[in-house]
Amino acid sequence: MAYLLGVGEQFPSFEKKAVVSLEAGKEFATVSNDFDNEEGRWTVIFWWPKDFSAVCPSELVAFNQTLADFKSRNASVLGFSTDTELVHLAWRTYNPALKDLRFPLVEDTNKALASELGILHEAGIAYRVTYIIDPKNVIRWLSVGDLAIGRGTEEILRMLDALQSGGLCPVNWKKGEDMIKM
């Protein structure tokens, strides 16, 4: 793995094609990172290694099931892999669990963004990485996992809550609990 962009660094600019729908003629859109915004929106970007794999669809389903929780925290969710938008579309079309996804599946076919982030595996696929990016486009949290192990959306939501709280949060802190007072 090359140099991994980390906490406190700006998330790189990108403009990529994404699958946003299964409706004929409305399947694709261009997605970019206009994260520096007046609405104070946060962004959660997660990468999976490969479409048509065993673990990855379970993660997409989990993000879809918790999408309302992310939105209630003023956070957008974007899913990425190094597969093409056409592969994403085929995967969504032929996997019944993925038909109702409500967040974009973004391509990084040229692997430029994965390379710039430092998350490209030697096999030419991205590691299983999650970023929480603040409204100023700064990486505030990231997690890198083994290719074979799925991540948990509840922990990502917990970290988003902690970051948005602006306070000092003890171990296993959950929204509504006491924070550390200095």
Q: How are strands ordered across the β-sheet holding 75-81?
A: 28-32, 15-19, 105-107, 75-81, 42-47, 128-133, 139-145
List the structure tokens of 63: 């993000």
Catalytic residue of the set 19, 20, 56, 156:
56
42 CB burial (10 A radius; 0-12, 13-18, 19+): buried
DSSP class of 167: S
Residue 78, strand partner residues:
45
The answer to whether residue 56 is catalytic is yes
Q: Is the dihedral of CA 38, 137, 82, 55 positive or negative?
A: negative
Which residues carry out catalysis? 56
